[in-house]
Amino acid sequence: MGKHKKKIKVAFVGCGRISRNHLESMLALKKECEVVAVCDVDRERAKMAGGKTGAEVFTDYDRMLAESDCDLVSIATPSGLHPDMGVRAAERGRHVLTEKPMAIDLDSADRLIEACDDNGVMLFVVKQNRLNATMRLLKSAVDKKRFGKIYCAHVNVFWQRPQSYYDMAPWRGTWALDGGALMNQASHYIDSLYWLVGDVAEVVAIAGTLARKTEAEDTASVALKFANGAIGSVNATMLTYPKNFEGSVVLLGEKGTVKIGGMAINRVEHWEFADYDDDDKFIEQCNYAPPNVYGFGHQPYYENVFAAIRGEAQPETAGRDGRKSLEIILAAYKSAKDGVKVALPLD
C-alpha cells in the first residue's frame, strides 16, 4: 500500500463479545486505519480494548464523540442502541458503521439513514458473511446466471446459545434491545437470501420460546415467496445439542444445485451446474475453518469500508441494504404474532 493513502481514524463503541473481531481486523489493517478511541460503559472492558489498540479510553459515548478526532464511528453495542448512537455520530459529521441489525424497528432505521444523508456521511451495516470466500463464489454463480431460473432458496441456522449466554447481559433476548434468533443470530443469513435471490414479496412464520428464559424467540421457521416467484425458507434455533451444528445456504435452480454449509457457511458441500465455469476450480480453496460462527469476513469488510470512505470503492453494504433484511425479519415477527401471511414492503 502506498504511503499516500489516508489513514482512517476510527472510534469504536461497545467492547463486548463481537468487539474482538472488529478490533483484530482493524489491527491487521493498521496501514489503512488507526483506532483512536474506544468506549464502553464497563470501564474494565473499555480498558482492555484500549490496551489492545493503544486507543484513548472512554466510558461516556458523547464525550468520546466530542473529544476524539475520528473519521468513522464503529458501533457494536446492543442492537436497540445502534440507531440513536449512529444519529449522534452523523450529526457530528462522522461516518457511521453499525453491527447488524442496524435497528430493531423500521422507524429507527429510517431515522439513521436520514441523519447520515442529511449530514453527508456514509452509513455501513456489517454483513461480513457476504465477504466469505464461499459466499463470493456463490454470488458469482448467481451473477453469471449459472442457475438459470432459481426455484428455491433455503437457510438453516442450527446453533447453540445456552441460558448462560442470555444471562451474561440483561439486554439479550429482549424485545427492546435485541430480538431473538431471527433478529440476532440469523440476520446475516436472511440478508444473504435477499442478496442472492432478490426482494421478498411475502412471508409466513412460526416462532416460539421453547427452552430459554427470554422475551424473544429461541426457535423459528419462516416460509418466503420472492418477488421473482422463487420459494424459500429460514429455519433458526439456538437449542441445538450440544453446540453449533450448521449454518447453511441452499440454492436450487433449473441448471444448478449448491449447498454452502458447515458450522457457518464455511464449506462448499455441494456444487453442481449444467455448464462448466472456471469458478469451479476454486471450490477447495474457498473452504475454510472459522474460529467461530463470525468467520473471517470482518477484515475484508473493513477494507471495503475504508476504501469507500476514501472514494476508491462502492460500499458492500450501505444503510438501505441493512434495512432490507430488517424489514424481512419484522415481517416474519408480525406473521408469527398475528398468525397471518404478511406482504412486503411493510406499511
pLDDT for the residue numbered 1: 43
Q: Is the pLDDT of residue 6 over 90?
A: no
Classify residue 88: in a domain, yes or no: yes
Residue 93 lies in a domain: yes
8 Å CB contact between 286 and 295: no
User: Do 180 and 100 have their domain in common?
Assistant: no
Structure-model confidence comparison of residues 15 and 2, the more confident one: 15
Average confidence (pLDDT) over 285-310 = 83
Same domain, 219 and 165: yes
Domain shared by 248 and 330, yes or no: yes
Confidence at 128, pLDDT banded by 50, 70, 90: confident
pLDDT exceeds cutoff 50 at 2: no
3-state SS class at 173: coil
- Burial class of residue 217 (count of CB atoms within 10 Å of its CB; 0-12, 13-18, 19+): buried
Residues 104 and 207 in one domain: no
Mean pLDDT of 320-332: 95
Confidence of residue 4 (pLDDT cuts 50, 70, 90): low
Residue 3 has pLDDT above 90, yes or no: no
The verdict on residue 85 lying in a domain is yes
Is 177 a member of any domain? yes
Q: How confident is the model at residue 117 (pLDDT cuts 50, 70, 90)?
A: very high
Query: Which residue has better confidence, 317 or 324?
Result: 324
Residues 6 or more apart whose Cβ sits within 8 Å of residue 21 = 128, 294, 298
Question: Phi and psi for 130 in degrees, rounded to 5?
Answer: -65, -20
Residues 6+ apart with CB under 8 A from 181: 157, 207, 216, 217, 218, 219, 220, 236, 237, 238
What confidence tens digit (pLDDT) does each residue in 145-198 have? Answer: 999 999 999 999 999 999 999 999 999 999 999 999 999 999 999 999 999 999
CATH number for the domain that contains residue 16: 3.40.50.720
**Residue 292's pLDDT band (boundaries 50, 70, 90)?**
low
Comparing 31-45, 114-128, 160-174, 289-303, the range with the smallest average pLDDT is 289-303
- Residue 134 shares a structural domain with residue 201: yes
- Length of the chain, please? 347
97 with 75: CB under 8 angstroms? yes
281 and 153 within one domain: yes
In the predicted model, what is the mean pLDDT of the chain? 95
Map residue 58 onto helix, strand or coil: strand
Mean pLDDT along residues 253-271: 96
CA nearest to 247, candidates 140, 76, 128, 73: 128
Q: Which helix (H) or strand (E) holds 85?
A: helix 82-91
Tell me if 213 is assigned to some domain: yes
What is the spatial distance between Cα 74 and Cα 13, in angstroms, rounded to a whole number? 6
Give yes or no: residues 111 and 175 share one domain.
no
Q: Are residues 280 and 308 in the same domain?
A: no
**Closest of 325, 311, 330 to residue 125, by C-alpha:** 325
User: Cis omega (within 30 of 0) on the bond before 242?
Assistant: yes
In degrees, rounded to 5, the angle at the alpha carbon of residue 149 between the alpha carbons of residues 146 and 153 is: 90
Do residues 71 and 310 touch, judged by C-beta distance below 8 A? Answer: no
Number of domains comprising the chain: 2
How much of the chain exceeds pLDDT 70, in percent? 97
Q: Which three cell numbers stand for residue 226?
A: 420472492
**Does residue 2 lie in a domain region?**
no
3, part of any domain: no
Amino acid 294: pLDDT: 60
Q: Please give the C-alpha separations between residue 70 and each of 12, 35, 51, 65, in angstroms, as whole numbers.
A: 10, 9, 18, 8
Domain of residue 257: give its range.
Answer: 129-291+326-343
Q: Does the residue 66 lie in any domain?
A: yes
Who contacts 293 (Cβ-Cβ below 8 Å, separation ≥6)?
A: 159, 244, 247, 263, 264
Task: Indicate left, alpha or beta for 295 from its phi (over 0: left) and psi (-120 to 50: alpha).
Answer: left
- Give the residues across from 58 on adjacent strands: 39
Measured N-to-C along each axis, helices 43-53 and 19-28 cross at an angle, to the nearest 10 degrees, of 20
Structure confidence at residue 5 (pLDDT): 77
Shared-domain flag, residues 156 and 266: yes
The CATH number of whichever domain residue 206 belongs to comes to 3.30.360.10
123 and 136 in one domain?
Answer: no
Identify the CA nearest to 135 among candidates 247, 256, 21. Answer: 247
Claim to verify: residue 312 and residue 330 sit in the same structural domain: no
Check whether residue 236 and residue 120 sit in a common domain: no
